[in-house]
Structure 1
Amino acid sequence: MITTRRLVKQFGRLRAVDGIDLDVRAGDIYGFLGANGSGKTTTVRMLLGLVLPTSGEIELLGSRMPRAGRRVLPRVGALIEGPAHYGHLSGRENLALLDAAGPGGSWRTRRARIGEVLEQVGLAGVGRRPVKAYSLGMRQRLGLAGALLRRPELLVLDEPTNGLDPQGITEVRELLLDLHREGTTVFLSSHLLAEVEQLCSRVGVLDRGRLVLQDELAALTAPTGSTVVHTPTPDRVRAVLDGRVTATDGERVVVRGADPAEVNARLVGAGIAVTALSLERPTLEQVVLAAAGTSTDRVEAPR
């Protein structure tokens, strides 16, 4: 769906995107992660032909960009850097202008489709209200509705939950999962690790313009081969499992060995109270920090 080879974007002496090789496959919900200023939005703009790369190659839906843009982009829905709307027009009227820019059927068909996407994003009751009266979250929803108008094969979203409250974030997550189940591939640029961890199947991590990690989320957060024990007596666990305890944090003890039942049997047999057991898995935050480091020196690409 999306392939880049040695993609570079230079702004004067500043290399905002530094030779990245993206691999987004059909059926992915791909989380494109990075701190603000890491080069995510510049990359997304290059993918869609809004910014020309300094060097490298881009393929979108199997075709070279930006050369194939006129043919490919009608099959792509996108929301980048917050939607732009005419404030004096209603949400419906704004969407009608977007739809008029592309191939449509009869006015009745297009009007019905506008109603469908407003319903999908939770704006069915306010679609006739002027956009200038919308909150930031409502404008974000309207931008997402615009991206869905043509039933895209590929959905490219840059921070789509910006401005949404927790309920709105949950609703957008469920909407994206529904679209994915219907066959839409989703490319989601975000800095919200918790959202990506709940939603995405694959991730790429950008740090100061470089792609430092790209893999299946399940592989990145696979069990480490250790068991986490929660107990009110961590010192006794260390005494019984001498040499196997690798870390202790309050009542949380990490023990080498990927068989919680075996660990539990040893501890209970020694009379030690165990309140919880689980396989140790790294969080996405731990994976990203290990790959990108903790540097605050981030690329700030000109807009």
Structure 2
Amino acid sequence: MTSRDGTAAVIRTHGVTKVFGSVSAVVDLDLTVRSGDIYGFLGSNGSGKTTTVRCLLGLVLPTSGRIEIFGQEMPKASGAVLERVGALVEGPAAYGHLSGLANLMHLDASGKAPAGPLGGSRRDRRDRATHALGLVGLQSVGRRPVRGYSLGMRQRLGLAAAMLRQPELLILDEPTNGLDPSGIREIRELLGTLHDSGTTILLSSHLLSEVEQLCTRIGLLDRGELVLEQDLAVLRAPTGRVVIVTPDPDRAAALLGGAVEECDGERLVVRARDPGDLNARLVGSGVVVRELGPERRSLEDVVDAHSSRRGQHEVAR
């Protein structure tokens, strides 16, 4: 199974639709996650992201359409496929009276954690659980009962469970929910490290800055429909215009005339082929230039351009 550019496709859906009563949560979804992607699955709350993720994992059956993971049809091949997948969907589940370490060891022993190349003895399970707790920064509280964990700590425990057996594919639904900015940064760095080691990641989120800093490719859901799927580098490529920041916007605009396409305070957007020549022309005419460079669209701009619910995607700072 390959994507259109010849890269192996880890996840592919064909016309997936999910209807709940009179509500179409997902509509005719054709989605492709390639091997090596960090795929940012975007959409406002209620756009169908979690329903899609649950369909991918066989937790919900699609009304119509077909899902393939590692080239095998889901949920028919779920026994073989899910051994290679780690997942965190909605809120992480745990036994409150058990410690974080005991929860992970129980999950590993129950067979609900993805299988892997390591052994299956109690010592092996303890080693895996201890390592996973360390990855998410819970090593110091691993022996405390989970009922005393904060929301952020529970979210970290869910991530540790998803990574117990070094899965080839991670499917994460809002993995930084409940985390403070430093926790978000730590999880972002962890996911980057996992990606560098060869893990393919599908990250469902509505936090645009999180996706923009981490992901290589995005898919945007709007009212259940996939309205955009593209490499982030392509979406954020230079537009062919130049952004100028100057304390002399009126002088700059008068000098450049019709080449100025936008003017907002000290910020001008200019149609120009050569930023270097443009800078020399401004400076040579005595215009102070604070910043000058190619215009690139932000992910927020891209999402707003394709979304019918503008302004409903949170941007974490």
Q: After TM superposition, is the score higher than 0.5?
A: yes
- Match for residue 107 of structure 2? 98
2:58 to 28, 44, 49: 49
- One-letter code aligned to 2:97: H
- In the TM superposition, 1:269-288 aligns within 5 A as 269-288=284-303
1:132 to 144, 147, 165: 147
1:18 to 27, 43, 67: 27
Structure 2: runs of 5+ lacking an equivalent: 1-9, 313-317
Contact 1:5 1:22 in 2 (8 A): yes
* 1:145-201 deviations in Å (ceiling 9; x for gaps): 000001100000000000000000000000000000000000000000000000000
Task: Please give the alpha-carbon distance, in whole angstroms, between the structure 1 residues aligned to 2:178 and 2:291.
Answer: 37
Contact 2:304 2:311 in 1 (8 A): no
Task: Please give the alpha-carbon distance, in whole angstroms, between the structure 2 residues aligned to 1:279 and 1:237.
Answer: 17
- In the TM superposition, 1:79-228 aligns within 5 A as 79-102=88-111, 104-228=119-243
* 1:218-247 deviations in Å (ceiling 9; x for gaps): 001111001100101111111111110000
Q: What's the CA shift for 1:293?
A: 2.8
Q: What's the CA shift for 1:294?
A: 3.0
Q: SS in structure 2 opposite 1:242?
A: helix
TM-score by length of 2: 0.92
* 1:83-138 deviations in Å (ceiling 9; x for gaps): 01110100011001110122552211111111111000000000000000000000
Task: Please give the alpha-carbon distance, in whole angstroms, between the structure 2 residues aligned to 1:155 and 1:61.
Answer: 13
- One-letter code aligned to 2:29: I
- One-letter code aligned to 2:43: G
Q: What's the CA shift for 1:13?
A: 1.2
Contact 1:77 1:148 in 2 (8 A): yes
Q: SS in structure 2 opposite 1:232?
A: coil
- Match for residue 77 of structure 1? 86
TM-score by length of 1: 0.96
Task: Please give the alpha-carbon distance, in whole angstroms, between the structure 2 residues aligned to 1:238 and 1:135.
Answer: 54
* 1:37-73 deviations in Å (ceiling 9; x for gaps): 0000000000000000000000011110000001110
- Match for residue 5 of structure 1? 14
Q: What's the CA shift for 1:258?
A: 4.2
- Match for residue 266 of structure 1? 281
Q: What's the CA shift for 1:296?
A: 8.6
Give the aligned length. 297
**Greater mean alpha carbon deviation, residues 233-242 or residues 153-162:** 233-242
Q: What's the CA shift for 1:82?
A: 1.2
Contact 1:258 1:279 in 2 (8 A): no
Q: What's the CA shift for 1:259?
A: 2.4
Contact 2:44 2:309 in 1 (8 A): no
Q: What's the CA shift for 1:262?
A: 1.3
Contact 1:29 1:201 in 2 (8 A): yes
Task: Please give the alpha-carbon distance, in whole angstroms, between the structure 1 residues aligned to 2:217 and 2:110.
Answer: 33
- One-letter code aligned to 1:3: R
Contact 1:91 1:129 in 2 (8 A): yes
- Match for residue 300 of structure 1? none
